Amino acid sequence: MYRLALNMLFGDRAKLAMLLCGLAFSALLMAQQSSVFFGIMSWTYTPMVNIRAQVWVSDPMVEQVNDAKPLRDTDLGRVRSVDGVAWAAPLHTSFVQARMQDGNFKLITLVGIDADTFAGAPAVLTQGRIEDLRLPDTVIVDEWGASLMGRMGVGPDGKPRSTPLKVGDTFEINDIQARIVGICKVRRAFTGGPFVYTTYDRAKGYTLGARRTLSFMLVEPQKGVTPAELCGRIERDTGLKAWTSDTVIWSWGERSLARNTFWWFWTNTGIPFSFGTAVLLGLFVGIAISGQTFYSFVLENLKYFAAIKAMGAGMGVIARMLFVQAFTAGLIGFGLGAGMAQAIGRAMIEKGMPPFVMFPQILWATFALVLGISFVSAVIGIIKVSRVDAASVFRG
């Protein structure tokens, strides 16, 4: 009977198209909005991705990576003396204004890294060399930032330029010249500003000699010491907070700075509510359209279901037929919706638009919700058919 149930479903192409549209739209909305949400949320811990180190050390009051609380430079020595530390390097991060050639200002994320070890330096440079950061007044700008800041610059002819900044171009940070010696490829951040890398000591100069400029310390454990183990030792010996660089936000690791950052934004901003509303909307739209369409499909076939009942099919058989129809539509609708979400995501990424992270969990959750919609639709149909009297087939 299931094959016939499917033929009944596929035989009514108009209804099937409507049903699939509802389910696909619902799946698209849920998968796409969730992926954009997790994409944006993954930007919140971008520094953890761009600046690689096994252990990060911060002030004990720090809750997330974008909110650094300055440490004393002497803390670096204290950390280096902890048993199990292979090396520790200073890291400065701050938001400062950069002044472009056309006089415009742009908020940038200034990253000061250790000039000796280059610990925390960007992994991929598309132009220039990292070693050139040791030259006076030099910086490395990220690709997207170079493009953004390039549009604010002035060309050799004195007219506004439209090309990205390149090696050799200059701008100012707090009236101090910054000469570009490299362009790097890093992930964009939630805070939006371009990443400008320089040396830790020069960063001090750019921040006009702020009393404390040490934002984090990047630490490497000695061989045989796990990051979590070293974090415990650092906290015990120095009273500072030590974090692992694990970026799996689904983990329950208390020491993951990325995870803490993610959940800080989750609980302290309206982003989850906003995107959650869109996902719920997708769910309700799916239930409304699919439930309504499937119900009307059942209504249209009601006299045939009554005839099948009269011929001796029990409600169990008819219920299974309706489940087969609803779940098949759900499966196809999910495939279409998830496929469209993927396609939109790819297009967005290619155009450098907002982030899009489709975790397998998002697909599974969307799949479960679409099946939930199908289940509700089938149950509505089953209730209707169960109330039909088999004797009604003799009433014309």
Partner 1 sequence: MSHQAHTVAVRASGVDMFFGTPENQVVALKQADFEARRGELIMLVGPSGCGKTTLLSVIAGTLTPQAGTVEVFGQRLDGLGQEELTSFRRKNLGFVFQSFNLIPTLSVVENVMVPLLIQGRPYDEAQARALAIIEKVGLKGREEGRPNALSGGQQQRVAIARALVHEPPLLICDEPTSALDKDTGAHIMELVRDLSRSPERCVVVVTHDHRIFRFADRIAEMEDGRISRVVDDPKLLDTSHL
Q: By the criterion CB under 8 A, which residues form the site for partner 1?
A: 1, 3-4, 7-12, 301, 303-304, 307-314, 317, 389-391, 393-396
In the bound state with partner 1, the residue whose beta carbon lies nearer, of 343 and 391, is 391
Q: What are phi and psi of 97, to 5 degrees?
A: -90, 130
User: What separation in angstroms does the CA of 75 have from each of 57, 59, 109?
Assistant: 10, 10, 23
Least CB distance from residue 307 to partner 1, whole Å? 4
In the bound state with partner 1, the residue whose beta carbon lies nearer, of 7 and 267, is 7
3-state secondary structure 95-108: EEEEECCCCCEEEE
Per residue in 302-314, is it b (16+ CB within 10 Å) or e — as a string?
A: beebbebbeeeee
> Strand 170-173 to strand 216-221: parallel, antiparallel, or no bridges (unpaired)?
unpaired
In the bound state with partner 1, the residue whose beta carbon lies nearer, of 79 and 318, is 318
Least CB distance from residue 391 to partner 1, whole Å? 4
Hey, what amino acid is at 153?
Answer: G
Least CB distance from residue 301 to partner 1, whole Å? 7
In the bound state with partner 1, the residue whose beta carbon lies nearer, of 11 and 60, is 11
- Do residues 262 and 83 touch, judged by C-beta distance below 8 A? no
User: What separation in angstroms does the CA of 193 have from each of 46, 68, 94, 140, 257?
Assistant: 12, 16, 11, 14, 21
Least CB distance from residue 9 to partner 1, whole Å? 8
The position carrying tokens 């430079």 is: 73
Least CB distance from residue 10 to partner 1, whole Å? 8
Least CB distance from residue 15 to partner 1, whole Å? 9
Hey, what amino acid is at 147?
Answer: S
In the bound state with partner 1, the residue whose beta carbon lies nearer, of 3 and 351, is 3
Q: What are phi and psi of 202, to 5 degrees?
A: -70, -30
In the bound state with partner 1, the residue whose beta carbon lies nearer, of 2 and 105, is 2
